[in-house]
Chain A
């Protein structure tokens, strides 16, 4: 068992999840079983293999250039309204669980 109950609590808190007692026990079992399976990646020596973060690194990129210039194809002019105007406030707030018509309202942030 590599993942302990304490790890589950710690990771749940990082992920902003509460989890019931039953969910924690199930999570402990499932994470350990999945991580055991993932362990087979260690059969491979990857010390000289570069990590691959994105498929799009592999095409469309000008490899003769440095830094962000390599991705010049994806750039655009910096203009005031961007690619489209922002949503009107009313629409932007239309799905809010709580708002006063100007702002999103959330419970008290600072506790005393």
Chain B
């Protein structure tokens, strides 16, 4: 059994045909984690009891000869910002080091109801704030393709586990690029669905108008299968949209001939690495050779996306993270003698430097005298960024860009320069701000054998088209 190339279909078929059991598959993955994850650091917590119970349930179904559900027996990992009943959930933070949630995130519950075997919880930047997973309060994650380099972030553990073959599929979250950028750095597929497509109930909130849940997988088809499972209205999340969920796998097979693919010059400017540029340009040529019409488009406000993002996201984070006060859950300082000291000292001891920086920036942007100048200004520019996409999508069906301006950087390279780290998300944040879906797929390698990612952005709720283009590209490369 080759765990490296295992996809959802391979695993599920082998289990249904009795070639292996879900239990033995889960055991094989745990053995692999035991031997290989020490150097990568993708996992924070293992959930063996829960995994083996689910695997046994799937084995019973298979032994009866009944059809397995869509993810029947498939070993998966969950980014540690999604709560799991009875399984420690830390958000990569000391403040939640001992937190054992009393309920399940909807996306997790839907994965499990579809038969997924949850191996454990994936390492990430603290509260999903970061682009390298070096902000995890526990340990950094290393890129399986080159252990001296970062896996990207904040879903670095989720991407690294898929790349290292220590999970078939993982869930991540994307607020400014946190699914797509690590997918690009690790050479896997990462899909951020449309805002509202997947319920965020049980996702520990970072920035509520920007947070998305989505899959990281080896293949585009696997991303399509998982999206179908987790998408759709959830009464527990009022921002989840009541929009029909298509059969994404069936949609993959439709031809891409005649689709109009936009190329925006704003994504090919200063700061783009030459090797990344040529790989992405080759991918665009290849889509053209498959019959797509390549159309130049403009997204003129792109250069304002990062500053807009760091106002909106930090403002929302400062409000969302106010709940960590040491009263109902999480770390409480032992040094406090009165209530206000308890709040301050618990937060001081529990939060890491990047989280504090963002809470401070967001609180500043929302504070009296600065609200109009920063927060309201950023919200207005956000409208312009969303309008850029509205205009472009009148002319094209999808937009193709690099996912990140460079391949994976070295550990420690950007940790002391917050602004340089923020710029790693320059091609991904716009989609979060506009709420449009995006996927990153591997499109080549640098001379140093580091993966390069191609990003495909689509219209609101049109994941089917970007998946179809991604699938066509993937198939043409093989």
Q: Give A residues with C-beta under 8 Å from B.
A: 3, 7-8, 10-12, 14-19, 23, 26-27, 30-31, 33-35, 37-42, 44, 46, 49-56, 58-60, 73-74, 76, 83-84, 87, 91-92, 94-98, 104, 106-109, 111
Contacts and interface: CB of A to CB of B under 8 A. Distances in A.
Contacts of B344: 16-18
B138 interface: no
A76 B233 CA distance: 13
23 contacts: A8-B360, A10-B367, A15-B360, A16-B322, A17-B359, A18-B348, A27-B360, A33-B419, A35-B364, A41-B308, A44-B304, A49-B381, A54-B239, A56-B195, A56-B435, A59-B461, A95-B328, A95-B329, A97-B329, A97-B332, A104-B328, A106-B342, A109-B338
B242 interface: yes
B195 A27 contact: no
B460 A59 contact: yes
Contact of A95 (B99, B238, B306): B99
Nearest to B387: A49
A51 B328 CA distance: 35
A49 B380 contact: yes
Given A51-B380, A60-B196, A94-B100, 17 more contacts: A15-B363, A16-B343, A17-B344, A17-B351, A23-B356, A26-B353, A31-B360, A35-B361, A38-B374, A41-B307, A44-B384, A50-B380, A51-B382, A55-B386, A59-B460, A108-B339, A111-B338
A52 B356 contact: no
Given A16-B325, A49-B380, A54 B102 contact: no
A37 B307 contact: yes
A27 B357 contact: yes
B232 interface: no
A-B pairs, top 5 by smallest CB distance, nearest first, are: A55-B435, A51-B379, A97-B332, A95-B329, A46-B380
Given A41-B304, A58-B386, A92 B102 contact: yes
B345 A18 contact: yes
A80 to B, nearest CB: 16
A93 to B, nearest CB: 8
Interface of B: 98-100, 102-103, 195-196, 209, 235-236, 238-239, 241-243, 301, 303-304, 306-308, 310-311, 318, 322, 325-332, 336-345, 347-348, 351, 353, 356-357, 359-361, 363-364, 367, 374, 376-384, 386, 418-419, 422, 434-435, 460-461
Contact of B235 (A51, A56, A83): A83
Given A41-B378, A42-B377, A98-B332, A11 B418 contact: no
Contacts of A111: 338
Nearest to A99: B328
Given A11-B360, A19-B356, A108-B339, A52 B329 contact: no
Contacts of A50: 380, 383
B323 to A, nearest CB: 11
Contacts of A12: 360
Contact of B242 (A7, A14, A60): A60
Given A59-B241, A95-B99, A104 B327 contact: yes
